[in-house]
Amino acid sequence: MLPPLFAWIRGYNRADLSADLLAAVIVTIMLIPQSLAYAMLAGLPPETGLYASIVPLLAYACFGSSRVLAIGPVAIVSLMTASAVAPVVEAGLADAPAAALTLAALSGAALIIMGLLRLGFLANFLSRPVISGFITASGLLIAAGQLRHLLGVGGGGDTLPEILASLCARASEIHALTLVMSLAVLGFLWLSRSRLRAWLLCAGLSPALAAACARAAPVLAILGTILAARLLGPGAQGLALTGAIPPGLPVPGLPPFAPALVLALAPAACLISLVGFVESVSVASTLAAKHQQRIEPDQELMGLGAANIAAAFTSGFPVTGGFARSVVNADAGARTQAAGVFAACGLTLATLFLTPLLADLPRATLAATILIAVLSLVDLPALRRVWRYSRGDFAAMLTTILVTLGYGVEPGITTGVALSLFLHLWQTTRPHSAVVGQVPGTEHYRNIERHQVSTCPGVLSLRVDESLWFANARFLEDRVAALTAGRPGLRHVVLMCPAVNRIDSSALASLEEINRRLRAASIRFHLSEVKGPVMDRLKRTAFVDQLSGEVFLSHHEAICQLCPPSLAADQPRLTEGAA
């Protein structure tokens, strides 16, 4: 697997350049407030958000496979970072920015190892109900966590009960000016998100200009509130401000690797890698499909891993492919990863020249930006849709939401994954099977409980509809025992295996046991419609030799031989099955 190092450079032309440059300008404007806001969400100094959006973008451009994915801090990974870093800081192992660097390095290493070992399939074990429940719950947690900034009170908390209790306890401390400014910014952002574009179009602006202005709204909110804070004078009447941001670019440096720190952060790093990977891949494949491109999941792991390593060495924190920024990038016409490189340049300029301006930025403005962004993640109606379709999936989703809200992000996602796996395994412990009979006049055999079919009294035909493995093998033994008990006239049992793709050692032992027991009761045991690869494997064992009956290619062949029409003279060959 060669890294697609700047694969997009080949054939790069003037048209690509101008498209990418335009997209980069739009993305840069959007990323400045977002980067600051997500750094605050992760509990880190605001400049780390800008740093995390520069070099990781370049690293992904070298190793990633998507052409339009925009890498940087995203809401859920920032929340997970905050929740992973907090206990480490509390235990005195490191300060928050240092712990975030180690976390990014570990997460990058986990992604690269998964990529090298082609373990991308592990992400498949995060089922959609679990992911969707986790995203909804994280959105609610993030929104609740921003309330204190919007109200100008202190407090904290990692879970919904903690956050709400902390807010209630400080309800008397609400800072009126902060609240007024928060409501103004929230109203402005909400209107610009839902209405501004239509108004500007009505006002006669070109669609492209209208869209660009609507997207620039957060920047306007930032500029407006900075201006307001400056007008309020030094101290800004108690408004919480971002404070001085060190000017200049991040100094590259090694993240701390104390063993205790690494051990404490490793589980969270693995979860962050998985969640970040799933989020990034689903964004990337949606966008790729729209543009008739394809992405390579294992290559994506390498790209994301490189981006996180880059973040770890340049004072950032864990990053991944973001939905909003990637969509904006694609919509703005980005054609290659050059757009990402240009956006990185834009953010570098911002870091160099705009930071003095940002010292007076009210924190409430950033909180409002986050709140508006994450509320679009909350999808509670999905609960009702999933409930209607599958009770098991609903249980997994609801559990993920409740545990995430009540106990935090890590217990939430691990409980969700464990529960969905358990439910799946539990459902597979009973193999689907059906007693079948012949549809009269055809060679088709169908479930006697659902179709009008004929059966032969001396022959029991049992169709198995799943691969046989250790968890469902014993149920097959029981099923055969129950079906053959109390049928003295029974001479043959035929197991029809059209849907059996695998028979593992445990299931083979069960088949041997069934064969032994039926033989003791003078009943012959046959198989029919065994798939080629399964038969090849069975032939390597003693089972086929010990089998009291035969293996038939088609079930009809089995019935013709075991219940020949000649018998029809002696006994009523075919009896009608249930309708």
Least distance CB 521 / a copy of itself (angstroms): 7
Stretch that binds a copy of itself, among 122-130, 170-178, 218-226, 264-272 (CB under 8 A): 122-130
Q: Can you state the angle between helices 176-194 and 217-231, rounded to 10 degrees?
A: 160
Q: Which is nearer to a copy of itself, 501 or 571 (CB)?
A: 501
Instruction: Kindly state the tokens that stand for 283.
Output: 């964004």
- Contact between 546 and a copy of itself by CB under 8 A: the answer reads no
DSSP E strand stretches across 165-324: 320-321
User: Which CA distances in Å does 217 have to 41, 192, 197?
Assistant: 20, 6, 10
- How far apart, in whole angstroms, are the C-alpha atoms of residue 429 and residue 29? 54
For 134-202, give the DSSP string.
Answer: HHHHHHHHHHHHHHHHHHT-----SSHHHHHHHHHHTGGG--HHHHHHHHHHHHHHHHHHHTHHHHHHH
For a copy of itself, the binding residue among 487, 491, 537, 556 (CB under 8 A) is 537
Q: Which is nearer to a copy of itself, 230 or 290 (CB)?
A: 290
- How far apart, in whole angstroms, are the C-alpha atoms of residue 23 and residue 133? 32
Q: What is the largest CA-CA distance in the chain?
A: 108
Least distance CB 435 / a copy of itself (angstroms): 16
Instruction: Compute how many other C-beta atoms are within 10 angstroms of the C-beta atom of residue 198.
Output: 11
Least distance CB 321 / a copy of itself (angstroms): 16
Three-state DSSP at 493 gives strand
For a copy of itself, the binding residue among 5, 10, 13, 124 (CB under 8 A) is 124
Least distance CB 426 / a copy of itself (angstroms): 7
Q: Which is nearer to a copy of itself, 13 or 292 (CB)?
A: 292
Q: Which is nearer to a copy of itself, 216 or 471 (CB)?
A: 471
Q: What residues contact 479, with CB distance under 8 A and at least 6 apart? A: 433, 462
Q: Which residue has the tokens 């035969």?
A: 550
- Contact between 172 and a copy of itself by CB under 8 A: the answer reads no
Lay out the site mask for a copy of itself across 148-167 (x = CB under 8 A, - = otherwise).
--------------------
Q: Which is nearer to a copy of itself, 410 or 477 (CB)?
A: 477
For a copy of itself, the binding residue among 402, 469, 483, 535 (CB under 8 A) is 469
Q: Which is nearer to a copy of itself, 269 or 382 (CB)?
A: 382
3-state helix, strand, coil in the chain (%, to 5): 65, 5, 30
Least distance CB 278 / a copy of itself (angstroms): 10
Q: Which is nearer to a copy of itself, 338 or 497 (CB)?
A: 497
Enumerate residues 471-530 that contact a copy of itself by CB under 8 A: 471-475, 477, 481, 485, 498-499, 501-502, 504-506, 508-509, 513, 516-517, 520-521
Dihedral-angle region of residue 441 (phi above 0 means left; psi in -120 to 50 means alpha; beta otherwise):
left
User: Which CA distances in Å does 578 have to 373, 441, 492, 493?
Assistant: 59, 17, 21, 19
Lay out the site mask for a copy of itself across 402-441 (x = CB under 8 A, - = otherwise).
------------------xx--xxxx-x--x---------
Q: Which residues bind a copy of itself (CB under 8 A)?
A: 121, 124-129, 285, 289-290, 292, 294, 385-386, 388-390, 392-393, 420-421, 424-427, 429, 432, 450, 465-467, 469-475, 477, 481, 485, 498-499, 501-502, 504-506, 508-509, 513, 516-517, 520-521, 532, 537, 540-541
